[in-house]
A and B are shown apart, each in its own frame.
Chain A
Amino acid sequence: KNEVEQSPQNLTAQEGEFITINCSYSVGISALHWLQQHPGGGIVSLFMLSSGKKKHGRLIATINIQEKHSSLHITASHPRDSAVYICAVRLNSDMRFGAGTRLTVKP
């Protein structure tokens, strides 16, 4: 059983659309990370959340600790947003990762 579940697995959108990626987890956590991974590239940390909501540019991340759920939203999506988005939860000495959501934004 995967402790971190992401949905959808794959997502195709048209440029300008509003995107939502969901993450549910089943363990107690100290923080939740949203990560972005481009093909052939490394991983970039987008957000680290322990409560509430954070916004950076067109990206918004929210977390509901009681429901063990987080969402990543992208407003006015652009082809350069195409990447794999990974939800990761921080336990004590390690992290558990979701399988990722592959986002493709078409022009």
Chain B
Amino acid sequence: GAGVSQSPRYKVAKRGQDVALRCDPISGHVSLFWYQQALGQGPEFLTYFQNEAQLDKSGLPSDRFFAERPEGSVSTLKIQRTQQEDSAVYLCASSLDRVGSPLHFGNGTRLTVT
């Protein structure tokens, strides 16, 4: 595709439910990032993949958050036992390589936990 694609665009979950958010990066992009953006705030780093390897997961807020990119392309961010504080926009971005390349962002998934 032409850009980074995220799905679903919107997700409403009841507290305690598990959710899975999908990111389709631009074909051939090595680096993939997940970010969490709370209302009125700038994005905050969650995790980084280089191909299929998760090189940095220091931003994941708890062990309820899990991300994978098994074949080095599509990535899934899973949140188990969702809590209200998980409500945010989850953004995915990809770039050709680790540093020095522009980032391309998806439109995000807006998660609302009720």
A binding-site residues for B, Cβ under 8 Å: 4, 30-31, 33, 35, 41-45, 48, 86, 88, 90, 92-100
Contacts and interface: CB of A to CB of B under 8 A. Distances in A.
Contact of A45 (B33, B45, B103): B103
Interface of B: 33, 35, 40-45, 48, 55-56, 58-59, 91, 93, 98-100, 102-108
A99 to B, nearest CB: 5
A48 B102 contact: yes
B105 A94 contact: no
A31 B45 CA distance: 16
A95 B42 contact: no
A100 B55 contact: no
Which label, helix, strand, loop or mixed, suits the secondary structure of the A interface?
strand
Contacts, number: 58
14 contacts: A30-B100, A31-B100, A42-B107, A43-B91, A43-B105, A43-B108, A45-B103, A90-B99, A94-B33, A97-B45, A99-B40, A99-B41, A100-B41, A100-B42
Given A30-B100, A45-B105, 17 more contacts: A35-B105, A41-B107, A42-B91, A42-B105, A42-B107, A42-B108, A44-B105, A45-B102, A45-B104, A88-B43, A90-B99, A94-B58, A94-B59, A95-B103, A97-B45, A98-B42, A99-B42
Given A31-B100, A45-B104, A48-B102, A86 B33 contact: no
A86 B45 contact: no
B34 to A, nearest CB: 10
Contacts of A99: 40-42
Contact of B45 (A33, A35, A96, A100): A96
Contacts of A94: 33, 45, 48, 56, 58-59
A30 B105 contact: no
Contacts of B104: 45
Contact of A30 (B55, B99, B102): B99
Task: Tell me which of A43, A97, A99 has the highest count of chain B C-beta atoms within 10 A of its own C-beta.
Answer: A43
